[in-house]
């Protein structure tokens, strides 16, 4: 086995040399902290968002695509919405919306408690190619008890790839390991898959405490040769821009913007992902609509006027 692959803000992929199994390890330290510190998230929600960040980075690392992976959990419980976006080069951003009830949940509240009625909740996985093409979407019901189980279910049901996922977080940093059967695997590989997958019963402490990728893999799979690929860096990255905010304001319509101007004298928009504040003085805000109110506006954008 290679190597000096270390845990940092990165995703490290690996392959079993004599079994049709591949995997990936994600570790998000500064990235996780920076994203979670954008809002005063309740502790239970910090954990859920951290887990969804790690799961999204792992999902993105299994795809060959150029655009952005968008993982959106919509629910009706204490949590309304969790959104994670991950670019092809592992630039991550995330945000969430919640009700006051989330403040009273225990730190380790399970997904079902956070999300409420599973029949009214769902996980949507979208792939925005960012070239004006269609956004591909897969949707799974929120019947799983954890985010790891939910993503496993998505991969197995929608992508038809047997997958096992484990996630660990202390609400400041997060790590995760994904194992998948290669598409080339046949019935002859069943035993090896079951044996390897059963070794993914890692506890929080073992996953968060592991010193290096190599040590963790050697400890978990001592009887396998594993080839480790050079890790890819992950980081907090928000691609909000004045253009995208302008599009969102056009969607609100001239009447709404005029009403905000009458009340506040200017239009301020805070990016929910990174906290960047955009300010439009009256002339600039009205110029978005041209001389007459007939502009159909651009497609909606996830950057919305902040509630803050």
Contact residue for Zn ion among 240, 267, 269, 288 (CB under 5 A)? 240
Minimum CB distance to Zn ion, residue 276 (Å): 5
Query: 295 vs 306, which CB is nearer to Zn ion?
Result: 306
What tokens were used for 131? 């070239």
Binding segment (CB under 5 A) for Zn ion, from list 27-35, 100-108, 138-146, 231-239? 231-239
**Binding string, 274-293, against Zn ion, x = CB under 5 A?**
x-x-----------------
Residue 176 to residue 249: CA distance in whole angstroms: 38
Q: DSSP string of 203-234?
A: -HHHHHH-SBHHHHHHHH-TTS-EEEPPPEE-
The owner of tokens 């006051």 is 100
Cis ω for the linkage preceding 183 (within 30 of 0):
no
Binding segment (CB under 5 A) for Zn ion, from list 49-57, 212-220, 238-246, 281-289? 238-246
Q: How many chain residues touch Zn ion (CB under 5 A)? A: 6
Binding segment (CB under 5 A) for Zn ion, from list 36-44, 123-131, 212-220, 268-276? 268-276
Residue 269 sits in the site that holds Zn ion (CB under 5 A):
no
Minimum CB distance to Zn ion, residue 124 (Å): 21
What tokens were used for 38? 């954008």
Residue 238 sits in the site that holds Zn ion (CB under 5 A):
yes
Tell me how crowded residue 204 is: count the other CB atoms within 10 A of its CB. 14
Cα 194 to chain centroid distance, Å, stands at 28
Residue 273 sits in the site that holds Zn ion (CB under 5 A):
yes
- Whether the Cβ atoms of residue 10 and residue 228 lie closer than 8 Å to each other: no
Residue 133 to residue 80: CA distance in whole angstroms: 28
Residue 14 sits in the site that holds Zn ion (CB under 5 A):
no
Binding segment (CB under 5 A) for Zn ion, from list 37-45, 132-140, 199-207, 266-274? 266-274
What tokens were used for 189? 């590989």
Residue 7 sits in the site that holds Zn ion (CB under 5 A):
no
Residue 210 sits in the site that holds Zn ion (CB under 5 A):
no
Residue 21 to residue 12: CA distance in whole angstroms: 15
Binding site for Zn ion (CB under 5 A): 238, 240, 271, 273-274, 276
């Amino acid at each position: 086995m290679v190597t000096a692959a270390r845990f940092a803000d990165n995703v490290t992929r690996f392959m079993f040399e004599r079994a049709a199994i591949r995997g990936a390890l994600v570790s998000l330290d500064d990235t996780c902290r920076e994203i979670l510190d954008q809002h005063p998230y309740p502790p239970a929600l910090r954990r859920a968002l951290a887990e969804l960040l790690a799961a999204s980075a792992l999902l993105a690392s299994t795809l060959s695509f150029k655009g952005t992976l968008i993982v959106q959990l919509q629910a009706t419980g204490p949590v309304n919405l969790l959104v994670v976006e991950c670019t092809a080069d592992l630039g991550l951003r995330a945000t969430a919306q919640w009700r006051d009830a989330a403040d009273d949940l225990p730190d380790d509240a399970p997904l079902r408690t956070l999300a409420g009625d599973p029949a009214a909740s769902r996980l949507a996985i979208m792939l925005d190619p960012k070239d004006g093409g269609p956004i591909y979407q897969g949707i799974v019901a929120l019947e799983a008890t954890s985010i790891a189980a939910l993503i496993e279910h998505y991969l197995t049901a929608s992508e038809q790839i047997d997958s096992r996922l484990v996630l660990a977080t202390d609400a400041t940093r997060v790590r995760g390991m994904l194992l998948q059967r290669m598409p080339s695997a046949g019935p002859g590989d069943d035993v090896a898959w079951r044996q390897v997958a059963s070794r993914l019963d890692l506890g929080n402490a073992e996953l968060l405490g592991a010193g290096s990728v190599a040590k963790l893999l050697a400890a978990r799979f001592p009887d396998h040769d594993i080839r480790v690929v050079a890790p890819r860096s992950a980081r907090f990255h928000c691609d909000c821009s004045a253009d995208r905010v302008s599009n969102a304001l056009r969607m609100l319509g001239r009447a709404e913007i005029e009403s905000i101007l009458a009340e506040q004298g200017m239009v301020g928009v805070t990016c929910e992902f990174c906290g960047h504040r955009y300010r439009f003085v009256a002339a600039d805000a009205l110029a978005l609509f041209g001389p007459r109110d007939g502009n159909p506006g651009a497609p909606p954008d996830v950057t919305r006027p902040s509630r803050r």
